[in-house]
Structure 1
Amino acid sequence: MDGVARAPRTPVPWGLKLLAALASLLVALALLLVFFPWDWLRGPLNRYVSERTGRHFEITRRLDVQLGSTVRVLADGITFANPDWARDPHMVKARAAQIDVRLWPLLRGHVELPLVTLTQPQLALQIEPDGRRSWALGRDTSN
């Protein structure tokens, strides 16, 4: 030995270890969300919206999400189809879209969109003499 007296090691309390593990997990989760390649969700999101609405929806180029108390969704290239009977094939077509969603109301089941911005939008809304409206979703499009 080198003749230097060392103090005995005191054990770290299990609560402190648990707290350190939880803090590490939260930091890892935060880093994952910040650096997550949101564009990977473009295909599943396109399919989900298309299935839920019964109309073709597509983000054609890029999808990005900026997290915060208001989540900002940025999409490049948006198309949303009109119903089959409409004259124009697309109800909405835009070069880009920015949609802000308030997070806390969303967690309670309420959707609040304080901002929806479309860049170079092309809208084709149509009402037929029988009352059908191209923007109405669902089976009955006359309401």
Structure 2
Amino acid sequence: MDEAIDSLEESAGKDNAIYKIGRTEPVEIKYNGRTSTHRFQIIDFDDDDKTDMILGYEILPKLGVALTGVAYNFDDNIIFDDSINDALIPNHSPAGNPKQQECFMKEIQPLLDENQRISKHSFCTVPESVNHLNTIEGKHVNIQ
């Protein structure tokens, strides 16, 4: 051991604390045709515990071991039905109460009517809507 840790680490779960004693020097590991080095943490197991070692997520890839089938939900969790389409409907998010909406629509209706009377074949007269394409005089830039 090259360093003494002497610390108490809280692990997952209630009242799961592990006393860490230190770390090993780098150890060569051979497993399933792979060779790697790793520095293990030395921890103090409870005398009643029948565990010899705990392999963490940092060593499993070195050994070529994949962790699959791990539960991601618990039996007492409520599973929500994702098939319900609760997406927003465009242009269907009115603000205010119905009376306020009615008042608003009454106020802007003359403008909407005026806008509807504009021919769809006319040009937009808003100055910032004009785009200028600078081209070389006498040169064709688009031939159909």
Interval of TM-score (by shorter of Structure 1 and Structure 2): under 0.3
Which structure would you say has the larger RCO, counting Cα contacts within 8 Å and 6 or more residues apart? 1
* Larger strand percent: 1
TM-score, length-scaled by structure 1: 0.24
Task: State which structure, 1 or 2, has the greater radius of gyration over its C-alpha atoms.
Answer: 2
